[in-house]
């Protein structure tokens, strides 16, 4: 008896590896697939429907309707029906309202992950599977390179991260204390991220007789990621096949480096404890570690780590490496850092 189509087998193997790598799950634990109705997520849904029961797990799905275009509710309903036909249960449709504050792409992403977290909590799911492929990872790395980002951004998306199942204080998450409470969160797994391509997910759907939906936004060049996708296709033509795979492989390497630096920074921040901090102890840290330590220390004093940018880190670092009696450094979150003799002090300053 012939086996499954190679693309189908690759999708199933990726899901099986991801579930095993995550760790032991209780028998009959629920995993949910984030399904948009596109080829990537439907191939993932089909693979999860096959693999989950064989691992003693239950598989369901979450369909997020971003309501960004006419007829989106029909697209969501169709995706949900396809998940049910594949044997996934429960299947939950969540409609969200996408604002414009951080831009349409960022706002849609934030609302989508919030909806996934809410649905996971409502159903008691232990993990959510997302269908990001190697192509998506390469796009993330290309955009990070264009921005001149650091190692963490160049690492792209993680194959395993977390969705909060309850509200977590931003300072706690930034400080690393959220890492100590993983049992209180739902995992977000991306089984296809490192090894499977968009072409493979389409081939898997075709082999299984699954018709997918192509989001017209994926062809709209007003969106930065769409332009990055087109650029990657051009690079593959001009430089040769392997650019996408190479960028994804670079993300894997950078991820390992970034994880180690983050661990070193967290250990250093734990040693430093509360301010005031000894300037010579901070200055003795390697610069790559110290930049991360500054963000952790400021987050623990009430700043949002994401708001502590490179310019703030450089100004804070100058209190150590270029000290000539300069004034205090204002940090987002209403903080003000200054040097007093050989120590660094943090106090409440003007609200930023």
pLDDT for residue 184: 52
Known binding-site residue numbers for ATP: 36-41
Q: Would you say 40 and 79 are in contact if contact means Cβ atoms under 8 Å apart?
A: no
Confidence of residue 167 (pLDDT cuts 50, 70, 90): very low
Residue pLDDT, tens place only, 196-254:
999 999 999 999 999 999 988 888 888 888 999 999 999 999 998 899 999 999 999 99
Residue pLDDT, tens place only, 276-287:
999 999 999 999
More confident position, 69 or 77: 77
Instruction: Using a pLDDT cut of 70, give the percent of the chain over it.
Output: 92
Three-state secondary-structure class, residue 300: helix
Query: Mean pLDDT across the stretch 90-109?
Result: 83
Considering Cα of 317, then 318, then 324, then 328, what sign does the dihedral take?
Answer: negative
What are the φ and ψ backbone dihedral angles of 92, each rounded to 5 degrees?
-120, 130
CA distance 3 to 205: 16
Helix axis angle, 39-54 relative to 6-22, nearest 10°? Answer: 60
Residue pLDDT, tens place only, 312-350:
999 999 999 999 999 999 999 899 999 999 999 999 865
Q: For the chain, which domains are there?
A: 6-238 (3.40.50.620), 273-348 (3.30.465.60)
CA distance 71 to 183: 38
Known binding-site residue numbers: 36-41
């Amino acid at each position: 008896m012939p086996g499954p189509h190679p693309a189908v087998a690759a999708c199933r193997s990726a899901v099986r590896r991801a579930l095993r790598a995550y760790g032991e799950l209780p028998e009959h634990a629920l995993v949910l697939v984030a399904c948009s109705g596109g080829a990537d997520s439907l191939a993932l849904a089909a693979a999860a429907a096959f693999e989950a029961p064989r691992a003693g797990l239950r598989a369901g799905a979450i369909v997020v309707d971003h309501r960004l275009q006419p007829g989106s509710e029909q697209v969501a309903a169709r995706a949900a029906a396809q998940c049910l036909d594949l044997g996934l249960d429960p299947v939950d449709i969540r409609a969200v309202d996408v604002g414009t504050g951080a831009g349409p792409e960022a706002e849609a992403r934030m609302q989508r992950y919030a909806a996934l977290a809410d649905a996971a909590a409502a159903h008691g799911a232990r993990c959510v599977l997302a269908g990001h492929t190697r192509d998506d990872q390469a796009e993330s790395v290309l955009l990070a390179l264009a921005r001149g980002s650091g190692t963490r951004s160049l690492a792209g998306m993680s194959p395993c991260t977390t969705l909060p199942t309850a509200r977590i204080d931003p300072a706690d998450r930034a400080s690393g204390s959220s890492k100590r409470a993983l049992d209180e969160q739902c995992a977000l797994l991306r089984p296809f991220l490192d090894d499977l391509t968009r072409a493979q997910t389409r081939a898997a759907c075709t082999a299984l007789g699954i018709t997918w939906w192509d989001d017209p936004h994926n062809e709209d060049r007003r969106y930065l990621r769409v332009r990055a996708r087109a650029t990657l296709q051009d690079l593959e033509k001009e430089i040769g096949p392997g650019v996408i795979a190479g960028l994804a492989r670079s993300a894997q390497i950078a991820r390992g480096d970034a994880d180690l630096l983050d661990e070193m920074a967290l250990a250093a921040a734990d040693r430093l404890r509360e301010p005031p901090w000894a300037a010579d102890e901070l200055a003795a840290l390697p610069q790559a570690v110290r930049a991360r330590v500054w963000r952790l220390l400021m987050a623990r004093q009430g700043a949002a780590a994401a708001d502590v940018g490179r310019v703030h880190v450089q100004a804070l670092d100058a209190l150590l490496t270029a000290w000539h009696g300069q004034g205090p450094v204002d940090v987002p979150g209403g903080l003000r850092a200054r040097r007093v003799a050989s120590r660094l002090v943090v106090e409440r300053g003007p609200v930023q």
